[in-house]
Amino acid sequence: MNIYLLRHGQTEQNLKGFYYGNLDVDITSKGIKQIEYISNKVKNVTFDKIYVSNMKRALSSASIISRNKDISFIRDKRLNEMNLGVFEGKSYEDIQREYPKEFQKWSDDWKYYAPPEGESYVDFYERVKVFFQEILKLEDENVLLVTHGGVIRSILTYVMGEDLDVFWKFGSKNGDLTLVKYEYENLYIDSIIHADI
């Protein structure tokens, strides 16, 4: 099985460096071009299924990449980015200034501490893991997941043996398309295409 992991195109919040996991924003004109670039790269791939997060930025990206393909996509909230609670829509400096105690707890225990009204990384990872394990049970040849950087890095953490510290060893830029192959009950990262825009 070929599992394609597409990070949504650029957003204004990406440009500003804001934390915005659960903030529902759309992609920019550059974000559209990034996904169009990737769409051209996979124009000859027939996707059996396309799963997409509930966020506008992912839905817009999925609409572009499925534009010339006879397939509808399946929305699944488990592909949503990590919910950062009261940290949403704020910069690193804003969070430090407005929530110093919470920021310190988050820095000291990034795996288990949940920002107020948000979720911990461990809870986030578990929901992504359950979803991905369901994907591995499919009989399909090509599956596309249109999602977010944190989700993709969590999937790659799972592929690399579930050492959660590995999460920080991956990049995932806007528009990146990562191909994970599942063959003979073995998972491996095959390739990454950058949206070179």
CA atoms within 13 A of residue 46's CA, in its CB half-sphere = 3
* Region 62-90 average pLDDT: 94
CA–CA distances in Å: residue 57 to residues 54, 89, 150, 159: 9, 15, 14, 25
CB neighbour list of residue 4: distance below 8 Å, 6 or more residues apart: 42, 45, 47, 142, 143, 144, 145, 177, 178, 179, 180
pLDDT of residue 193: 96
* Region 89-96 average pLDDT: 94
Instruction: Give me the percent of the chain exceeding a pLDDT of 70.
Output: 100
| Nearest to 149, CA basis, from 80, 93, 76 | 80
Q: What is the pTM of this model?
A: 0.96
Rounded CA gap, 57 and 85, in Å? 19
**Whether pLDDT at 68 is above 90:** no
Residues 28 and 9: beta-carbon distance below 8 Å: yes
**Whether pLDDT at 69 is above 90:** no
Q: Which two tokens stand for residue 1?
A: 């099985």
Average pLDDT, the chain: 96
Q: Which domains does the chain have, with CATH numbers?
A: 2-193 (3.40.50.1240)
Burial class (CB in 10 A: 0-12, 13-18, 19+), 43: exposed
CB neighbour list of residue 157: distance below 8 Å, 6 or more residues apart: 125, 163, 164, 166, 167, 170
pLDDT of residue 53: 98
pLDDT in tens, 131-153: 999 999 999 999 999 999 999 99
